[in-house]
């Protein structure tokens, strides 16, 4: 009997321990969903839905005769994300004006989860031109694609209280081949990077960073000034030349060594002068 009571009490204790964490997960998830959903208005949802239904109609009636414009089979309008386009030279823009507003403008696209001839896990993009929305393509979803679940996980692992969050905005840099999720609070701006390749940016995928820290890390790896000088290299941002830092270190060591030798020479000459003076 005593053994059964101990087992029951142990199970009850474990249940109590798990409850706060579950409550926190639910709270964070609800807040993230609410903030991200608010980025897309009902009017935008309605417009996008009409465009995508037309594309699905084309696919049915023309049997994929128009290639990529007829590949959409179905879409999930409830999984619509507004994605802001980042400046090409995003590091330079931030260094010149270290605010989140220097990176996020009104330039954006909408990405919607879909089922297409490419893959069941596809995304559809809706862009704008002269104020009009239009269907701009379908792509297969990659591991770098952002989901609410990934954002919630990063926020919780980073220890950021959900009550402190004001805004969450998703952005993409074509030149860095990465998504970035910007999380703003009253005191600090944070960012969660999702690069196409794990080791590409020099930061950990899906980890919460302060925006300052991530920009500094990336700026230590990529040389946007070299990109400005060579516009033809817009396929990617050149890496910083490590030899520049090596040369700087060599010059520093040489200067310090020279100063040490100079000081020693002065001391020795002074001692020699004092000895000569005593002899006289």
The pLDDT of residue 192 = 97
Residue 266 clears pLDDT 60, i.e. is over it:
no
The structure tokens listed for 242 are 């490590």
Residue 102 DSSP symbol: G
Residue 24 clears pLDDT 80, i.e. is over it:
no
- Please, which residues have CB within 8 angstroms of residue 173's CB and are 6 or more apart in sequence? 86, 90, 180
Counting every residue written for the chain, the total comes to: 280
pLDDT digits (tens, 9 = 90+) for 220-251: 999 998 887 765 555 578 888 765 444 444 44
CB-CB contact of 209 with 218 (8 Å): no
pLDDT digits (tens, 9 = 90+) for 177-196: 999 999 999 999 999 999 98
For the ranges 40-49, 170-179, 231-240, the lowest mean pLDDT is seen at 231-240
For residues 186 and 61, the model is more confident at: 186
Residue 20 clears pLDDT 90, i.e. is over it:
no
The structure tokens listed for 165 are 């969050």
173: β partners: 178
For the ranges 26-30, 39-43, 59-63, 195-199, the lowest mean pLDDT is seen at 59-63
- Element at 153 (helix H, strand E): helix 148-157
The pLDDT of residue 197 = 83
- Please, which residues have CB within 8 angstroms of residue 268's CB and are 6 or more apart in sequence? none
pLDDT digits (tens, 9 = 90+) for 145-169: 999 999 999 999 999 999 999 999 9
CA distances to 52, 60, 67, 132, 162 from 57, in Å = 9, 5, 14, 20, 42
The pLDDT of residue 277 = 53
CA distances to 103, 129, 203, 223 from 90, in Å = 7, 23, 16, 11
Average pLDDT over residues 124-145: 91
């Amino acid at each position: 009997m005593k053994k059964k009571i101990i087992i029951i009490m142990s199970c009850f204790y474990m249940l109590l321990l798990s409850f706060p964490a579950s409550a926190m997960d639910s709270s964070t998830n609800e807040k993230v969903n609410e903030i991200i959903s608010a980025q897309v208005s009902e009017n935008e949802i309605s417009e996008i839905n009409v465009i995508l239904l037309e594309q699905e109609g084309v696919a049915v009636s023309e049997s994929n005769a128009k290639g990529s414009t007829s590949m959409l089979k179905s879409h999930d309008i409830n999984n619509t994300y507004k994605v802001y386009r980042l400046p090409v030279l995003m590091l330079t823009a931030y260094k010149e004006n270290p605010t989140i507003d220097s990176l996020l403008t009104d330039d954006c696209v909408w990405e919607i989860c879909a089922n297409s001839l490419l893959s069941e896990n596809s995304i559809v993009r809706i862009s704008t031109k002269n104020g009009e929305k239009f269907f701009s393509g379908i792509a297969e979803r990659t591991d770098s694609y952002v989901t609410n679940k990934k954002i919630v996980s990063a926020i919780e692992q980073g220890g950021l209280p959900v009550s402190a969050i004001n805004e969450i905005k998703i952005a993409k840099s074509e030149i860095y081949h990465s998504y970035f999720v910007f999380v703003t609070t009253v005191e600090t701006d944070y960012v969660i990077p999702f690069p196409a390749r794990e080791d590409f940016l020099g930061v950990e995928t899906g980890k919460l960073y302060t925006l300052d820290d991530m920009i500094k890390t990336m700026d230590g790896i990529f040389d946007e000034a070299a990109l400005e000088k060579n516009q033809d290299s817009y396929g990617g941002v050149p890496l910083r030349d490590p030899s520049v830092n090596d040369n700087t270190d060599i010059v520093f060591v040489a200067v310090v060594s020279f100063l040490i030798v100079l000081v020693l020479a002065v001391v020795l000459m002074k001692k020699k002068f004092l000895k000569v003076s005593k002899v006289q």
